């Protein structure tokens, strides 16, 4: 793949293999206004005054509109043609920032309305649909023991699910290898049906290498990965191999080709549409607020496929003959195993767990659980840690959650780190680095991620191994109750420097909360209902957020790459603090 850029450093073109080029246009604020592919299809985009995506109009006559609340959280996506509404997906939030209710209207979920409740540590507890309420039961340690569909799950001391018992039908048992990876799942015998075992193997780096069901060899699925652990191919039985091509130049590795289809992206991390390699047919995708593909429309704007999922991502309904590999939360989903590939690990929506242990368990404290059992409010595109506000955070905050996280020995000594802080373990995540110095990841973290030292975290220029020279470290990850103030990023833009001074000056006080940043104060005020220093820091946070957005839009002139990264990281952390 090759890329072209304008004088401002914005991507103006991406050329796929076979000279297939996608071109991009931008407005004066640097916001993408159009994406055009090699077949002549042009998609246009509109933006809100706050720099959020407001509309997306594809050449098949379908327009998607996006709505936000006063806290700038995504609340609704509506897909329409001139004559009809094809799909509508809405969300409301509670005072604590959790999804309180959602609505879905499409060919699968006709006027479906649900409300949600959570336990004391924000794990999903119940789903109410009409007058019917289904419940989830989870322990304080994050072990989901009962699902809404009635499944009960049993765990061992390592927090590995070892048995799943449905309300009817045979139970399934699970075993693990010495590295803590799922090695087999066995569905018990039932009546005249014999027990069936599916086996799993892994690469030396810990990635999934094969899934072997107990049926015929024609159903064995095999995978390969590159030296950085990113999946490169899939082969089923003796059929031809599908090779994966990833766009690595952006904020998150994005699938652009899987052999059967090419995927075209706009400003977000979900593809706008897919192009069938054999026929050239263009199929347009509509996602919900979690990022899951819900509708596929054809060149005429007619719905040719619709999907529904349960809260933890298992696809419960699929209609139509067209499908997409982009499934739950906008990620690559295997059509045979149902596993969701989240770059570092594979996720199993049936057990609501990852197949392999989290390499950052020391910090996340959840070796296998998905998004702290709060899948409506968080996604995990990396397979390492959860990000909040569904597709919004997924699309916009990956850089703060991955590119920019730098852990020093001092940072690790402060306590738990490398989570987004929504559980209360982390009160602040203040990050930023520029050009010219080492990442500073500790040997302990390196070894936890992979024995080879390969770190499955994205940099601006590609996947990298620990120790890659990237930038001057101006980072701290401070845990709740820590006494260390946050380290202030050093920037060249004077307006950004003023915002940083405003955000970090609380760190100079011996009475500081957490690391003394505005984000820490906001989290404290939201958690306790008490003002820090008699001031409402939410107001201050909103003011500085607006200032950061204006800087990122270039309203005060272009930012250096270092300053842009710092500004984006600060904005991401403020939005995380104010939004939940």
Task: Check: CB of residue 280 under 8 Å from CB of residue 406.
Answer: no
Q: What percent of the chain has pLDDT over 90?
A: 55
Per-residue pLDDT tens for 338-379?
Answer: 999 999 899 999 999 999 998 878 767 889 999 999 999 988
Per-residue pLDDT tens for 298-349?
Answer: 999 999 999 999 999 999 999 998 999 999 999 999 999 999 999 989 999 9
The pair phi, psi for residue 163, each rounded to 5°, is -155, 140
- Residue 522, pLDDT > 60, answer yes
- pLDDT band with cut points at 50, 70 and 90 for residue 99: very high
Structural domain 2-354, CATH architecture: Shell (2.180)
CA 561 to chain centre: 23
Q: Where are the domains of the chain?
A: 2-354, 397-579
CA 391 to chain centre: 7
Say what the pLDDT of residue 388 is: 57
Supply the DSSP symbol for 436.
S
Three-class DSSP category at 161:
strand
Say what the pLDDT of residue 561 is: 83
Task: Check: CB of residue 476 under 8 Å from CB of residue 487.
Answer: yes
Task: Check: CB of residue 383 under 8 Å from CB of residue 354.
Answer: yes
| Terminal-residue alpha carbon distance, the chain | 38
- Run of H or E residues at 2: strand 2-5
**Count of other CB atoms within 10 angstroms of residue 59:** 18
Cα–Cα distance between 485 and 474 in angstroms, integer?
12
Three-class DSSP category at 190:
strand
Per-residue pLDDT tens for 143-174?
Answer: 999 999 999 999 999 999 999 999 999 999 99
Minimal CA–CA distance to 73: which of 502, 429, 577?
577
- pLDDT band with cut points at 50, 70 and 90 for residue 535: confident
Q: What percent of the chain has pLDDT over 70?
A: 79
Say what the pLDDT of residue 580 is: 46
pTM over 0.85: no
- Residue 242, pLDDT > 60, answer yes
Cα–Cα distance between 163 and 414 in angstroms, integer?
37
**Mean pLDDT for the chain overall:** 80
Cα–Cα distance between 369 and 348 in angstroms, integer?
10
Per-residue pLDDT tens for 468-498?
Answer: 212 222 222 222 333 344 557 788 888 888 8
Cα–Cα distance between 87 and 108 in angstroms, integer?
10
């Amino acid at each position: 793949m090759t890329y072209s850029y304008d004088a401002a450093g914005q991507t103006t073109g991406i050329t796929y293999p076979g000279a297939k080029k996608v071109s991009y246009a931008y407005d004066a604020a640097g916001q993408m206004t159009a994406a055009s592919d090699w077949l002549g299809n042009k998609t246009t985009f509109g933006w809100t005054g706050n720099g959020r995506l407001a509309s997306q109009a594809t050449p098949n006559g379908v327009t998607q509109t996006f709505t936000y609340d006063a806290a700038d959280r995504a609340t609704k996506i509506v897909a329409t043609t001139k004559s009809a509404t094809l799909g509508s997906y809405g969300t409301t939030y509670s005072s604590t920032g959790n999804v309180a209710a959602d609505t879905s209207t499409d060919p699968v979920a006709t006027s479906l309305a649900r409300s949600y409740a959570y336990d004391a540590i924000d794990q999903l507890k119940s789903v109410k649909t009409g007058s019917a309420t289904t419940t989830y039961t989870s322990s304080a340690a994050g072990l989901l023991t009962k699902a809404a569909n009635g499944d009960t799950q049993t765990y061992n001391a390592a927090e590995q699910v070892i048995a799943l018992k449905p309300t009817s039908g045979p139970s399934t048992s699970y075993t693990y290898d010495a590295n803590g990876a799922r090695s087999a799942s066995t569905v018990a015998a039932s009546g005249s049906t014999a027990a069936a075992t599916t086996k799993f193997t892994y690469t030396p780096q810990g990635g999934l290498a094969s899934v072997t069901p107990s049926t015929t060899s024609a159903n064995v699925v095999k995978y390969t990965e590159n030296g950085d652990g990113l999946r490169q191919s899939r082969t089923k039985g003796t059929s031809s191999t599908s090779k994966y091509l990833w766009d690595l130049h952006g904020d998150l590795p994005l699938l652009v080709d899987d052999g059967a289809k090419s995927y075209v992206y706009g400003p977000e991390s979900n593809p706008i549409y897919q192009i069938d390699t054999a026929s050239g047919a263009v199929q347009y995708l509509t996602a919900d607020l979690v990022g899951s593909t819900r509708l596929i429309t054809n060149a005429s704007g007619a719905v040719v496929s619709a999907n529904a999922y349960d809260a933890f991502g298992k696809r419960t309904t699929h209609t139509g003959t067209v499908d997409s590999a982009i499934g739950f939360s906008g990620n690559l989903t295997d059509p045979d195993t149902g596993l969701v590939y989240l770059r570092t690990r594979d996720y199993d929506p049936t057990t609501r767990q990852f197949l392999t242990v989290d390499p950052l368990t020391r910090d996340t404290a959840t070796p296998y659980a998905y998004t702290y059992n709060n899948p409506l409010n968080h996604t995990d595109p990396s397979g390492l840690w959860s990000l909040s506000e569904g597709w919004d955070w997924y699309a916009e905050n990956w850089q703060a959650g991955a590119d920019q996280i730098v852990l020093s020995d001092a940072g690790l000594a402060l306590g738990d780190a490398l989570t987004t802080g929504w559980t209360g373990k982390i009160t602040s995540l203040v990050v930023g680095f520029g050009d010219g110095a080492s990442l500073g990841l500790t040997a302990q973290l390196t070894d936890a991620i992979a024995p080879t030292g390969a770190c499955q975290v994205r940099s601006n220029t590609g996947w990298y191994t620990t120790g890659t020279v990237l930038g001057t470290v101006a980072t701290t990850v401070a845990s709740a109750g820590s006494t260390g103030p946050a380290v202030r990023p050093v920037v060249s833009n004077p307006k950004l420097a003023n915002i940083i001074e405003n955000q970090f000056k609380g760190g100079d006080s011996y009475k500081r909360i957490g690391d003394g940043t505005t984000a820490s104060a906001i989290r404290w005020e939201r958690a306790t209902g008490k003002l820090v220093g008699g001031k409402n820091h939410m107001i201050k946070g909103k003011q500085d957020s607006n200032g950061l957005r204006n800087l990122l839009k270039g309203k005060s002139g272009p930012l250096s790459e270092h300053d842009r990264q710092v500004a984006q990281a600060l904005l991401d952390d403020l939005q995380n603090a104010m939004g939940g």
